[in-house]
Homo-oligomer: A and B are copies of this chain.
Amino acid sequence: MTYKKTDLFDEDLQRMAEVAKVMSHPARLAILRYLANCKSCISGDITNEIPLSRTTVSQHLQELKRVGLIHGEIDGLKVNYCLCTSCIDDIKKTFTLFLNEISISESIKC
């Protein structure tokens, strides 16, 4: 079998799908929400906030970092995580555009 056919599709759809996939786990959404509200966004604080093991939370943080939603900044022994506001604005635009595109158009509704 060949498998993994995602690159047969338009690049904009691929990017949107990638972002959607990262947002497809409640733990990662909870991390984003927490980062938006807290002042000190130290990795350890996030771990305490999320009901999963430290390792798993760390993994979710790496995922969020991979697509650019958050940044990590080493501060001695600790790591400060924070949202990437420009990336979030970008995502907001992408999603709004797509959702408008498919809801405004004149297709037949049943």
Please list the residues of chain A having a beta carbon within 8 angstroms of any beta carbon in chain B: 5-6, 8-10, 13-14, 16-18, 20-21, 23-30, 32-33, 35-41, 51-52, 71, 73, 80, 82-83, 85, 88-89, 91-92, 95-96, 98-103, 105, 107-110
Contacts and interface: CB of A to CB of B under 8 A. Distances in A.
A13 to B, nearest CB: 4
B16 A23 contact: yes
State the copy count for this chain.
Answer: 2
Give the secondary structure class of A's interface.
Answer: helix
Given A20-B21, A82-B108, A109-B83, A30 B5 contact: no
Contacts of A6: 25-27
Contact of A99 (B9, B17, B88, B103): B88
